Structure 1
């Protein structure tokens, strides 16, 4: 039996899909004039850093929400690891653009991987993990598209 999503789930999914639009739009603009290429690359990098940091914030919130056992190893690990995306995203903006794209892409993969660990999976609904997989695949495809531009030119 297929479960009908509640309003919160549907809204979260729609917002998640809307959140990939800037990735796709800046990637499309990267194929324009040289001025557009420079602008879109920087816009892409900054947006990716913001979104990667946002993903860490999700886990910060989940760790703080655990009032039953706030000092459990899983909760403390989640709280500490929730900072990792921001700590990858910020230096990625200080590197050259190609290296920054790689660091951000790796950050998205590591965050996706962490969300699949047993301790992490039990704290989020299955639909969230499915959504995150779809969104991560699109974001990584956009990163690859941006990286391909470096290899072609």
Structure 2
């Protein structure tokens, strides 16, 4: 199996915890719903931090000028995600969702990723942001 295919399969599989915790937060047993929201937020923070890690690794692999800035940007997702977990769920969802949008926008301007990666990142970002919006809408009801 090609690296591209594996990346797509793993990326799409990464949406499953978002879908499961979203479903449990709205339609699971009442005693599970608060835990499902916390699990959604925690998973979101982990995945957002992972996106920063991709840039950390890419910057270390490339001996080009300007990588210092990329290393600094690579730290932002973790610095956004961690405090978002300490806030009320509504604010955490908004901040994490915006973090995904920010990293997607930053990725669009980066060179060096395979061409197919842009489509993968876009599909995954849309899925993640829609999940955040759905949970936000649910919590606001």
Aligned to 2:58: 62
More helix by share: 2
Aligned to 2:4: 9
Q: Distance in 1 between matches of 2:112 and 2:7?
A: 16
Gaps of 5+ in 2: none
Q: Distance in 2 between matches of 1:100 and 1:151?
A: 13
Stretches of 4+ aligned residues off by more than 3 angstroms:
none
1:4-153 pair list within 5 angstroms: 7-31=2-26, 32-67=28-63, 69=64, 72-73=65-66, 75-117=67-109, 120=110, 122-152=111-141
Q: Distance in 2 between matches of 1:150 and 1:46?
A: 16
Aligned residues: 140
TM-score, length of structure 2 as denominator length: 0.96
Q: Distance in 1 between matches of 2:86 and 2:106?
A: 25
Provide Cα deviations, 1:68-116, integer angstroms capped at 9, x if missing partner.
x2xx12x121111000000000000000110000000010000000001
Displacement of 1:34 after TM fit? 2.5
Gaps of 5+ in 1: 1-5
Larger radius of gyration: 1
TM-score, length of structure 1 as denominator length: 0.88
Q: Distance in 2 between matches of 1:133 and 1:126?
A: 12
Provide Cα deviations, 1:46-86, integer angstroms capped at 9, x if missing partner.
0000000000000000000003x2xx12x121111000000
Displacement of 1:33 after TM fit? 3.0
Q: Secondary structure at the match of 2:86?
A: coil
What is the CA RMSD across the aligned residues, in angstroms? 1.0
